[in-house]
Amino acid sequence: MRTNSPAALPMTFAKKKSPFTIRRRRCSWWLTLAVLAAVAGCNAEPREEQKDAAGQEKLPWEGVRLQLVVTEDGGLAEAIGRLRGEWRGSTGAELEVRAISEDDLLAAEALNADAVICPVADLGELVQRQWLAPLPSSVSTSDDLSASEVFEADKTHDACWGSTSYAVSFGSPVFVCMYRADLLKKLDRPPPQSWQEYQELAVLLNDAEKLGLAGDAAAGWSGAREPLGPGWAGLTLLARAASYAKHHNHYSALFDIETMTPLIASPPFVRALDELVAASPISPDAQPLDPAAVRESFLQGRSGMAISWLAPRASQPPAGQAEAGGQTALEIGFTELPGSSDVYNPKTRHWEQRRESRHVPLLGISGRIGCVSAKSKHHDAAWQLLAWLSGPKWSDRVAAESAAVTVYRRSQLNASEQWVDVSIGGPAALEYAQVVERSLNAEEGLSAPRIPGRRRYLEALDQAVAQAVRDETTSQAALDAAAAAWAEITAELGLERQRAAYRRSLGLR
């Protein structure tokens, strides 16, 4: 029987290293090469200074007109548009910014722009279409980009396809656990570190009367809320299953990398769905929520815990929850998503003790990356634009305007309040940013699907979660049906094509 273990792969990958670490190292090859090239004087030379007819020095990109497409993010497009004058003043280049939908981008026959800022999950599709140019080493080591301070997963997962980097990051959220610190103190309980502890706390926090909540504070109260709305239920399941399913000796957890047989009906995912179903009565919402609604409900004081992330700069604090000076009236805290000391070995088909950290983040759930068109006539200028926008100088005025991203640089920790809801005070904002930093620098990570057909795969998983939560079927039966749907999608899109794309999504050739 073929497995996902290193022994089944080429000798190059046979060492028993962390799969996430190996992908990080393979994708980061350009950083080492770029430094060596810089020492040897081999980096691309900057554009030579020119002078006009009057002998005055010309700006480096004078006369160049760049077109930038921003996908599915009006706030980000507006923020960039406000910097066109700054960009023209420092480079001489004109900039046209257009906002389009993700559907329009993926329905197009070509990338009719010099550069694009798009969802993280679209990178593989665009590379497969041969629309994108690789990130040059001269850009990856530039002062504008300051890549050395970017969190690891942002630059070695989200920006990479196979062993090549094609993008610069504008930030990519991970799910975190938000909790009412005041209520946990009342219960004399620490923040949850495992899913068992999370479930126990959710039950305790569900009893509003014992917590001393009454009136408006008790109305619509729940112990915990999770994003189980369309487009998110499947991702929430994967986030819950990550620590159970991501074994250090196996590259893949969602598909067998040789046969593309779906693995989502295997024991780690069934266990995670059983636990999600057990927790769902503690989130008695009439309508399943998305991460934004879960976050808003928590910040409005309607749940004891929540799984979501903090969006940058909400224009107004939740009604009734902000005091003078922007401080929230709630005492809240943040911790990494719960994990497990148990991990399933798909080769032996037994549970083992996890030897690494119990926390395994789910990567690629949202976020934005910037890429340059392979057909652009102004590659150098386009890459400089993206590095300039993503870099430490302007990121607080660009990426921090998008609800789809979060902090992604160490320097942003010092300005963490700019990256969270205005009702969050300084200490809590810093705690949140530090939790994100730990998650995105973790040794292990499970990648959400980012191959062609991603939406269809996740829709099938959404349906499985919904059926199990509504008690229409068992977790095993629901995931068996989802696995069958995944196999049909793979066959329809082409087994070999999907297998090649999946391997590259994991950082393999």
Could you read off the pLDDT of 213-237 as tens digits, one per residue?
A: 988 888 889 999 999 999 999 999 9
Query: Based on the domain organization, do 334 and 464 belong to the same domain?
Result: yes
In a domain, 86, yes or no: yes
Query: Based on the domain organization, do 339 and 208 belong to the same domain?
Result: yes
pLDDT reported for residue 215: 86
Query: Based on the domain organization, do 37 and 67 belong to the same domain?
Result: yes
In a domain, 446, yes or no: no
**β-bridge mates for residue 116, sequence order:** 69, 371
pLDDT reported for residue 32: 44
In a domain, 26, yes or no: yes
pLDDT reported for residue 22: 42
Query: Based on the domain organization, do 157 and 244 belong to the same domain?
Result: no
Cα 490 to Cα 394: distance, rounded to the nearest angstrom? 41
Q: What Cα–Cα distance (Å) separates residue 43 from each residue in 35, 138, 477?
A: 9, 6, 56
Structural domain ending residue among the three candidates 389, 411, 440: 440
Backbone angles phi, psi at 495, to 5 degrees: -60, -50
pLDDT one-digit tens code per residue, 169-199: 999 999 999 999 999 999 999 999 999 999 9
In a domain, 51, yes or no: no
Cα 408 to Cα 226: distance, rounded to the nearest angstrom? 24
- Number of compact structural domains in the chain: 2
Give residue 283's pLDDT band: very low, low, confident or very high (50, 70, 90): low
What phi-psi label fits residue 179: left (phi over 0), alpha (psi between -120 and 50 degrees) or beta?
beta
Closest alpha carbon to 223 in 209, 239, 237: 209
Query: Based on the domain organization, do 315 and 463 belong to the same domain?
Result: yes
Query: Based on the domain organization, do 239 and 151 belong to the same domain?
Result: no
Q: How far apart are the first and last CA of the chain?
A: 22
Query: Based on the domain organization, do 148 and 185 belong to the same domain?
Result: no
Per-residue pLDDT, averaged over 425-439, amounts to 95
Q: Specify the amino acid at residue 434.
A: Q
Check residue 312 and report its DSSP letter. Answer: S
pLDDT one-digit tens code per residue, 66-103: 999 999 999 999 999 999 999 999 999 999 999 999 99
3-class DSSP assignment, residue 458: helix
Structural domain ending residue among the three candidates 413, 440, 467: 440
Q: Is the model's pLDDT at 1 over the cut of 70?
A: no
Question: Which of 51-60, 273-282, 449-458 has the largest mean confidence?
Answer: 449-458
pLDDT reported for residue 425: 84
CATH number at residue 143: 3.40.190.10
In a domain, 402, yes or no: yes
Single pTM value for the model? 0.88
Query: Based on the domain organization, do 433 and 465 belong to the same domain?
Result: no
Give residue 17's pLDDT band: very low, low, confident or very high (50, 70, 90): very low
Query: Based on the domain organization, do 314 and 457 belong to the same domain?
Result: yes
List the beta strands (DSSP E) in 310-467.
332-336, 342-345, 350-353, 362-363, 368-372, 446-447
Give residue 34's pLDDT band: very low, low, confident or very high (50, 70, 90): very low
Query: Based on the domain organization, do 216 and 354 belong to the same domain?
Result: yes
List the beta strands (DSSP E) in 236-367.
303-308, 332-336, 342-345, 350-353, 362-363
In a domain, 54, yes or no: no
3-class DSSP assignment, residue 292: helix
**Which structural domain range is residue 271 located in?**
176-360+451-505
Structural domain ending residue among the three candidates 412, 440, 468: 440
Query: Based on the domain organization, do 38 and 87 belong to the same domain?
Result: yes
Query: Based on the domain organization, do 274 and 356 belong to the same domain?
Result: yes
pLDDT reported for residue 327: 41
What phi-psi label fits residue 448: left (phi over 0), alpha (psi between -120 and 50 degrees) or beta?
beta
